[in-house]
Amino acid sequence: MAVSVTKADGSKQLFDREKIVQTCLRMGANIQVAEQVAGRVERRLYEGMATRVILSLVFQFLREYKPGVRHLFDLRRGISLMEPKPEFERFVRVLLAHSGFEVTPNQVLRGKCGEHEVDGVAKKDGVTYFVEVKHHSSYHALTGLDESRIAQAVLEDAADGFAIGVNDLKIDRAMIVTNTRYSEHAIQYGRCKNILQIGWSSPQYLGLRDMIEKGRLYPLSCLRGVNHEARMRLVNSGMMLIKELLNQDPGALAVKTGLPREIVGEIMEKARQSANELWL
């Protein structure tokens, strides 16, 4: 019998068992465990059940098979906990670099009519993009049309600036990177203006989730029990990813971050146990 579940925005959709299976597989479970967890969740279903409750059950059951999962947030939630600047911006640059882009950080582009601070410049296959990063603390939010309109205006002014010689960097396309989905109006406009719009699961093979899972580039923000100050000290010391903690010397990292050595040791142990679940 079909059962409808309630999404965070209040809309309803039919329960999809395969989504549970895929979530478990992304957390490092094998297909047998994933099917068992999906079956247990299915037996607890009721009409109108909230998707957040379903996800909580998935993690509850999955921890019984994979204890290290207790140290992890769901990937989407982990990314939503990031600071927009500088944490998420730096993370995006890491993802792009691992996906074959040559990336340089924040800079100012001089246009014909004004100056524009952008979150990065990325080059690949002979195409140069300026990068705008948009982070949402609610991953259910949509990235709307305004961001694409602004990006197009910056691109046009930068191109005019290059044409009259006020800058020597030829920008070919705009790129927007967000941790959510785009609105339909934004997608339509982006296609028309040839803007590369990278979202949570789009475009195919280059969405945030695909880039993270392909390279096992899970951010520190996915670790449970690491407070904001400790995480930001690690980020500011150059640590963005869980796997970057695995081969660190605890003493040296404590000195570098200014964190107590015992705190560093606890975080590194969480990372080690989590890594076993994420195949790092």
* pLDDT single digits (tens) 248-259: 999 999 999 999
Segment 49-64 mean pLDDT: 92
CA separation for the pair 97, 100 (Å, rounded): 5
Q: pLDDT at residue 280 above 70?
A: no
- Tell me the sheet residues that pair with 103: 122
* CATH C-level class of 84-214: alpha beta
Strands 127-134 and 120-124: antiparallel
Q: pLDDT at residue 103 above 80?
A: yes
How much is the pLDDT for 66? 85
Instruction: Name the token pair of 114.
Output: 């004004």
How much is the pLDDT for 279? 62
**pTM attached to this predicted model:** 0.87
How much is the pLDDT for 74? 87
Domain ranges (residues) in the chain: 4-65, 76-80+219-278, 84-214
| The domain over range 76-80+219-278 is classified in CATH as 3.90.220 | no
pLDDT in tens, 146-201: 999 999 999 999 999 999 999 999 999 999 999 999 999 999 999 999 999 999 99
pLDDT in tens, 197-221: 999 999 999 999 999 989 999 999 9
Instruction: Name the token pair of 175.
Output: 């790129």
Burial class (CB in 10 A: 0-12, 13-18, 19+), 190: buried
Q: Supply the mean pLDDT for the chain.
A: 94
pLDDT in tens, 219-246: 999 999 999 999 999 999 999 999 999 9
CA separation for the pair 252, 248 (Å, rounded): 8
